[in-house]
Amino acid sequence: MRRVDYSIRERIRDLKDEFLTQCPVKEPSGVIVHPGHILDRFMSRMSTSIADLSRHTGMSRATIHRIVREKGRITRDIAIRLEVCFGLPASFFLVQQAHWDCQEGKKDSYSDVKPMADSVISQYALGLILADLKGDEFVSPLFDDTANEDDWDDTDPATEVGGLMSG
């Protein structure tokens, strides 16, 4: 193993947290990249073969081959194996996989699905839940202090969500 300057090692450790800010990784065209493509390029950069990765992670060569050919998924188990093997955060691969899955899923029409609530109301309700879970006070982005009060809707979105969900 080559000796790496300590300051470079420290910088690489700092980059670990920055990986998640890169998700989702997209092509210049805006298309989300399959995590297998990232793994394939990473393996190439590290001069690692599918056989090497198989030996080090305990995954079958067929599984790795499917992933790098963008035919397979990176599961929680695979992401953790990659983290242990390479020191890359498992969450990077899982978040990238989730974004790719959503992009692919949106190609379906979902014409059988009927909206239950307006997206703004749903986001408001989620904001309340997340703030409650974190112990924070939720400040609604729905209302701007500079807006004219006559333009405000007096309906409480939380009440409206409850009404939409129950009917």
Q: Is the pLDDT of residue 148 over 60?
A: no
Note the pLDDT tens digit of each residue in 2-27: 555 556 667 666 666 666 667 788 99
For the chain, which domains are there? 6-105 (1.10.260.40), 119-166 (no CATH)
Residue 34's nearest CA partner among 72, 65, 91 is 72
Q: What is the DSSP string of 26-71?
A: B-TTSPBPPHHHHHHHHHHHTT--HHHHHHHH---HHHHHHHHTTS
Residue 131 vs residues 25, 103, 134, 146: alpha-carbon distances, Å:
28, 28, 5, 24
